[in-house]
Amino acid sequence: MTGEPRAVVVLGAGKGTRMKSALPKVLHKIAGRTMISHALDAASVLKPERTVVVVGPGMDNVAAEVAPFDTAIQHGQSGTADALKAAVPSLKGFDQGTVIVLFGDSPFITAETLANMVAAREAGASAVVLGFEPADPTGYGRLVLDDADNLTAIVEHKECTQDQLRIGLCNSGFMALDAATALPLLNAITNDNAKGEYYLTDIVSLCVEAGHKCSVIKASEDELLGVNSRADLARAEKIWQDKRRLEAMDNGVTLTSPESVFFAYDTQLGTDVIIEPHVVFGPNVTVGNNVTIKAFSHLEGAQVGDGADIGPYARLREGSVIGKGARVGNFVETKKCTLGDGAKANHLSYLGDAEIGARANIGAGTITCNYDGFLKSKTWVGEAAFIGSNTSLVAPVSIGDGAITGAGSVITRDVSPDAIAVERGEQKMRPGAATEYRAAKKALRDAQS
């Protein structure tokens, strides 16, 4: 975007009492990402010169989440105007341009709407307010327009006359303010109202009284949803997921049961991907083309190569890199593990801190013993190696290309390429012993009864 300079202020000092949580409200997550980060991400498209997040005292965890952006502390919760005032020292020297005010608990604002607000502001408004027409306007501030559709005031629900309560156009809380003409009026806002708070909404009538123009931009209710309770959070998650599922299908992904698949905010999917029911994506997953992810799989921090086949019941954890055409079957868990192209781990394995070569075959029940209670160690398996069922690979250990390990072996030393390593007790056999054993046991039981 070009145009005048911009600053973004996100208000997030509210405790979020209705969440009944030790965590500040804006740190609750939707699609694996905190609400405050969703809002900041949308705002980033404005390329703001400065971004300030207003937090309450002691919300160091919010400051850590939004770093390196600035935080300003609002002491006492005396209203949205007071919250914006708390950010003013961080805006020192920002005298020309637009200050965009966002709410940290409204994560769905789109970049497009923000750009529209800024464009309306730069077209000559002192304040641009984002309005919407909710199904139920109860509780929202009402937007009062004149005959020319200019905004003249915002009246909080509690202060509305009967006539004003009939106004359907409501305040979302999002505003774009002219730094030069609107910001200085913050100091003129009083708390002489029903709640005894400093309402930021009063800035509109103050601007109009000072002879400046104010206007309204509209957006849909879904985009402006504010999260106040856990039920709202679940509703927000559903809205986000539904949208993302449609987007995935539009982009060439088959979802057998869309409502049971959950994506993260940053899930990347190729084309001709098939995702079966009940698959969950945590953050940071990239899936290539022609991949099938079978039912009940869980992926996070994983990269899945073209043509790979995952699940059912697979768990790919942080640092999993699955090669082209590789296969991760049921009850296989991978973590910090590279599985080479065409390699297979079909059943019941834990592969952690491991590098598995192309076309290697990991037998059922293979475990990399990567942790001794103190340190993590690595396992290397060479190309086309064959790891027998139920092999324990005690790391650090390296299996050469083309080597074979016998089923049930506990491998503690490196195996050279194309060698066979077997580590198990010698098998003894006593012919007829089972018959003798059964006869002896039966005689014992007969004597007791």
Of the pair 82, 355, the CB lying nearest ligand UD1 is at 82
CB of 25 to Ca ion, least distance (A): 10
Binding to Ca ion (CB under 5 A): which residues in 206-235? 226
Task: Identify which of 441, 440, 403 has the alpha carbon closest to the alpha carbon of residue 422.
Answer: 403
CB of 57 to ligand UD1, least distance (A): 12
Mapped onto helix, strand or coil, the DSSP state of residue 244 is helix
How far is 281 from 304, CA to CA, in rounded Å? 12
How far is 109 from 217, CA to CA, in rounded Å? 13
Within 177-304, where are the H helices? Answer: 203-209, 221-224, 230-250
Mark the segment that binds ligand UD1 (CB under 6 A) among 8-16, 61-69, 356-364, 387-395. Answer: 8-16
Q: Which does 71 bind (CB under 5 to 8 A by kind): Ca ion, ligand UD1, none?
A: none
Q: Is 141 in the site for ligand UD1 (CB under 6 A)?
A: yes
Amino acid identity, position 400: G
Q: Per DSSP, what are the bridge partners of residue 377? A: none
Of the pair 77, 268, the CB lying nearest ligand UD1 is at 77
CB of 331 to ligand UD1, least distance (A): 44
Q: Which does 352 bind (CB under 5 to 8 A by kind): Ca ion, ligand UD1, none?
A: none
Buried-exposed string 157-184: b where 16+ CB fall within 10 A, e elsewhere: beebeeebeebebbbbbbbbbbbebbbe
Q: Is 90 in the site for ligand UD1 (CB under 6 A)?
A: no
Of the pair 156, 276, the CB lying nearest Ca ion is at 156
Q: Which does 79 bind (CB under 5 to 8 A by kind): ligand UD1, Ca ion, none?
A: ligand UD1
Residue 243 · residue 259 · CB < 8 Å: no
Strand 273-275 and strand 292-293: the pairing is: parallel
Give catalytic residues, as residue numbers. Answer: 347
- Candidates 9, 14, 87, 363: give the one binding ligand UD1 (CB under 6 A): 14
Task: Identify which of 163, 19, 7 has the alpha carbon closest to the alpha carbon of residue 97.
Answer: 7
Q: Is 170 in the site for ligand UD1 (CB under 6 A)?
A: yes
Q: Is 174 in the site for ligand UD1 (CB under 6 A)?
A: no
Q: Which does 11 bind (CB under 5 to 8 A by kind): ligand UD1, Ca ion, none?
A: ligand UD1
- Candidates 7, 9, 12, 215: give the one binding ligand UD1 (CB under 6 A): 12
Q: Is 103 in the site for ligand UD1 (CB under 6 A)?
A: yes
CA-CA distances (angstroms) from residue 225 to 108, 162, 232, 395, 398? 7, 25, 8, 50, 54
Which residue has the CB atom at the shortest distance from ligand UD1? 141
Of the pair 226, 277, the CB lying nearest Ca ion is at 226
Question: Going by C-beta distance under 8 Å and a sequence separation of 6 or more, which residues neighbour residue 349?
Answer: 331, 332, 333, 362, 364, 365, 366, 367
Mark the segment that binds ligand UD1 (CB under 6 A) among 97-105, 207-215, 245-253, 263-271. Answer: 97-105
Q: Is 214 in the site for ligand UD1 (CB under 6 A)?
A: no
CB of 135 to Ca ion, least distance (A): 16
Task: Identify which of 265, 261, 290 has the alpha carbon closest to the alpha carbon of residue 276.
Answer: 261
CB of 287 to Ca ion, least distance (A): 37
Of the pair 5, 226, the CB lying nearest ligand UD1 is at 226
Mapped onto helix, strand or coil, the DSSP state of residue 171 is strand
Structure tokens at 183: 């910001």
CA-CA distances (angstroms) from residue 376 to 15, 181, 316, 373? 40, 60, 18, 8
Of the pair 56, 97, the CB lying nearest ligand UD1 is at 56
- Candidates 11, 39, 46, 343: give the one binding ligand UD1 (CB under 6 A): 11
Q: Which does 13 bind (CB under 5 to 8 A by kind): Ca ion, ligand UD1, none?
A: ligand UD1
Q: Is 74 in the site for ligand UD1 (CB under 6 A)?
A: yes
E strand segments, 42-185: 50-55, 70-73, 98-103, 127-132, 142-145, 151-155, 170-178
E strand segments, 86-169: 98-103, 127-132, 142-145, 151-155
Q: Is 355 in the site for ligand UD1 (CB under 6 A)?
A: no
| C-beta contacts of 155-162 below 8 A and 24+ residues apart | 155/201, 156/193, 156/194, 156/195, 156/199, 156/201, 158/193, 158/194, 158/195, 159/193, 159/194
- Candidates 134, 226, 258, 312: give the one binding ligand UD1 (CB under 6 A): 226
Mark the segment that binds ligand UD1 (CB under 6 A) among 80-88, 273-281, 300-308, 375-383. Answer: 80-88
CB of 49 to ligand UD1, least distance (A): 22
Size of the site for Ca ion (CB under 5 A): 1
Mapped onto helix, strand or coil, the DSSP state of residue 183 is helix
CB of 120 to ligand UD1, least distance (A): 18
Q: Which residues bind Ca ion (CB under 5 A)?
A: 226
Binding site for ligand UD1 (CB under 6 A): 11-14, 54, 74, 77-80, 82-83, 103-105, 140-141, 154, 156, 170-173, 199-201, 226
